[in-house]
Structure 1
Amino acid sequence: MDIGAKLKAIREERGMSQRELAAKAGLTNGTISLIEANRTSPSVASLKSLLDAIPISMAAFFSTLEDSETPKVFYRAHEFTEITPGGDGAVSLRQLGKAEHHALQVLHETYPPGADTGPEAIAHDGEEAGIVVRGCIEVTVDGQTSNLQAGDGYLFDSRLPHRFRNISDQTCEVVSACTPPTF
Structure 2
Amino acid sequence: MISDAEQVLFFVCLSHCISWIEFDTVSIFRTTSTPVTAMSVDIGNRLRHVRLMHNLSQRELAKRAGVTNSTISLIESNASNPSVGALKRILDGIPIGLAEFFSFEPERPRKAFYAAEELVEIGKGPISYRQIGDNLFGRSLQILKECYQPGADTGKVLLVHEGEEGGIVLSGRLEVTVDDERRILGPGDAYYFESRRPHRFRCVGPVPCEVISACTPPTF
- TM-score band (shorter)? 0.5 to 0.7
Deviation at residue 143 of structure 1 after TM alignment: 1.3
**How many residues are aligned here?**
134
1:149 lines up with 2:179 in the alignment: no
- Residue 22 (structure 1) aligns with: none
Deviation at residue 164 of structure 1 after TM alignment: 0.1
- Residue 96 (structure 1) aligns with: 132
Quick one: structure 1 residues 170 and 71, their matched pair in 2 at CA, closer, same or farther if it must change by over 3 Å?
A: same
- Residue 82 (structure 1) aligns with: 121
Q: Secondary structure at the match of 1:47?
A: helix
Deviation at residue 81 of structure 1 after TM alignment: 1.7
Q: Secondary structure at the match of 1:147?
A: strand
Distance 2:215 2:119 in 1: 16
- Residue 63 (structure 2) aligns with: 50
- For the pair shown, which has the larger CA radius of gyration, 1 or 2? 2
Quick one: structure 1 residues 70 and 156, their matched pair in 2 at CA, closer, same or farther if it must change by over 3 Å?
A: closer
Give 1 or 2: higher helix fraction: 2
Give 1 or 2: higher strand fraction: 1
Paired residue type of 2:179: D
Quick one: structure 1 residues 99 and 131, their matched pair in 2 at CA, closer, same or farther if it must change by over 3 Å?
A: same
The RMSD of aligned alpha carbons is 3.0
Distance 2:61 2:189 in 1: 26
Distance 2:108 2:201 in 1: 37
Q: For structure 2, which runs of at least 5 residues remain unmatched after alignment?
A: 1-28, 31-55, 78-93, 95-105
- Contact kept, 8 Å, 1:132 with 1:175, in 2: the verdict is yes
Aligned partner of 1:122 among 159, 167, 170: 159
Distance 2:61 2:201 in 1: 14
Distance 2:58 2:199 in 1: 10
TM-score by length of 1: 0.64
- Contact kept, 8 Å, 1:48 with 1:122, in 2: the verdict is no
Quick one: structure 1 residues 148 and 70, their matched pair in 2 at CA, closer, same or farther if it must change by over 3 Å?
A: closer
- Contact kept, 8 Å, 2:58 with 2:72, in 1: the verdict is no
Q: Secondary structure at the match of 2:123?
A: strand
Paired residue type of 2:199: H
Quick one: structure 1 residues 123 and 70, their matched pair in 2 at CA, closer, same or farther if it must change by over 3 Å?
A: closer
Distance 1:126 1:112 in 2: 26
Quick one: structure 1 residues 45 and 101, their matched pair in 2 at CA, closer, same or farther if it must change by over 3 Å?
A: closer
